[in-house]
């Protein structure tokens, strides 16, 4: 994996620092036999798996296998896998194109390219000099969750900036009893409140104000999702999928990739990107969008809503179909495609 080598003096000051990658000493080989190209839903999969070490000796142990849809998969050659994710990309910043390329075969050139990658994408998770010298004793600690927590973040309504040191008051009705509580946001605008155990949904009222102020503040309350889908039966479409020829998908994917690669100039196996010149920085470039967001009547997290409805066995195919399920004031006529909002 990735190693960070740091040189400090006796007072804890950083003199130099370097990232390097240590290759695994032992690489096992896994071979699969008896795999078909296409399986029906719930069809048993029988295959023979053989695991050997570098010398070809068989190994014993527990294996974990992940199965995915090859037709709809966007997995490309040298793409990310569990090996590259755990040892390389999880410790780097930014997007790494085809990380498997650096481990396809271990050569001097690959090691040099991997070294350049670490210098470009390497980052520091903490200031080692401050930790050793004791200048910064406030370390982030994640305490164990002992109870159900209501967690979220407070942002300004217009600019969507984190609002620190804000008092968050919550009042909810559980059965026939009203419960209330309050807390304050941290420097990142985040808050958390312990709540009593309950099942189902509970309506709550939030009030936001600055610490020590009596006036309420207009703000956006963003709650972290606490969601566990209940078991449900598979739909007919899930049990009877329409199979497509995977070769056509592969051909189309390769064609699109080749067009992108051909659009980039290349010299001596080095891709040359067009030079970008920053003339000046724009201020308030999103002000038009922010003003528009201020005037909207409703906001829907489509991804979350679709996930929740699908977990309930409700199939959502279009936006009007979704709105008719979540908004009682919206009606949609399937016959002529017309919609109406009260």
The per-residue pLDDT for 183 is 92
The per-residue pLDDT for 140 is 45
- Boundary (domain end) residue, out of 223, 247, 262: 223
Is the pLDDT at 141 greater than 60, yes or no? Answer: no
Do 9 and 114 share a structural domain? yes
Do 183 and 124 share a structural domain? no
Strands 14-21 and 339-341: unpaired
Is the pLDDT at 43 greater than 60, yes or no? Answer: yes
Taking a C-beta distance cutoff of 8 angstroms, is the pair 26, 53 a contact? yes
Q: Binning pLDDT at 50, 70 and 90, where does residue 251 land? A: confident
Is the pLDDT at 134 greater than 70, yes or no? Answer: no
The predicted model scores a pTM of: 0.39
Instruction: Please give the share of the chain, as a percent, with pLDDT higher than 70.
Output: 79
Do 337 and 300 share a structural domain? yes
The per-residue pLDDT for 228 is 60
Domain that holds residue 322: 290-341
Strands 14-21 and 2-8: antiparallel
Is the pLDDT at 142 greater than 70, yes or no? Answer: no
Do 211 and 294 share a structural domain? no
- What count of residues does the chain have? 342
- Domain-located, residue 269: no
For residue range 13-39, what is the model confidence (pLDDT) as tens digits? 888 888 899 887 777 888 889 888 888
Is the pLDDT at 285 greater than 70, yes or no? Answer: no
- Domain-located, residue 240: no
Mean pLDDT, range 219-226, rounded to an integer: 81
Do 156 and 207 share a structural domain? yes
- Boundary (domain end) residue, out of 223, 249, 281: 223
């Amino acid at each position: 994996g990735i190693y960070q080598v740091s040189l400090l003096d006796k007072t804890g000051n950083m003199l130099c620092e370097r990232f390097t990658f240590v290759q695994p000493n032992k690489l096992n080989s896994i071979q699969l036999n008896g795999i078909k190209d296409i399986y029906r839903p719930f069809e048993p999969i029988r295959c023979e798996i053989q695991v050997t070490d570098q010398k070809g000796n068989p190994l014993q142990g527990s294996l974990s296998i992940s199965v995915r849809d090859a037709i709809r998969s966007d997995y490309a050659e040298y793409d990310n896998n569990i090996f590259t994710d755990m040892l390389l990309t999880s410790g780097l910043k930014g997007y790494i194109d085809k990380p498997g390329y650096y481990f396809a075969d271990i050569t001097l050139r690959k090691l040099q390219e991997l070294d350049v990658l670490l210098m470009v994408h390497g980052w520091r998770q903490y200031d080692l000099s401050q930790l050793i010298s004791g200048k910064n004793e406030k370390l982030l600690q994640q305490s164990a969750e002992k109870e159900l927590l209501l967690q979220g973040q407070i942002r300004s309504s217009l600019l969507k900036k984190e609002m620190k040191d804000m008092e968050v008051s919550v009042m909810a009705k559980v059965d026939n009893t009203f419960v209330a509580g309050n807390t304050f946001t941290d420097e990142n605008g985040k808050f958390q409140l312990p709540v009593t155990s309950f099942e189902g949904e509970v309506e709550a009222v939030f009030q936001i104000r600055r610490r020590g102020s009596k006036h309420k503040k207009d703000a956006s309350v963003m709650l972290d999702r606490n969601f566990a889908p209940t078991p449900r039966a598979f739909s007919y479409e899930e049990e009877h999928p329409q199979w497509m020829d995977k070769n056509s998908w592969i051909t189309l994917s390769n064609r699109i990739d080749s067009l992108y690669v051909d659009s980039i100039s290349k010299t001596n196996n080095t891709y040359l990107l067009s030079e970008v010149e920053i003339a000046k920085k724009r201020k308030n470039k999103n002000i038009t969008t922010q003003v528009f967001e201020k005037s909207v009547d409703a906001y829907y997290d489509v991804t979350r809503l679709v996930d929740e409805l699908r977990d309930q066995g409700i199939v959502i195919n279009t936006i009007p179909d979704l709105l008719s399920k979540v908004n009682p004031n919206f009606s949609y006529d399937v016959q002529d495609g017309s919609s109406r909002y009260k």
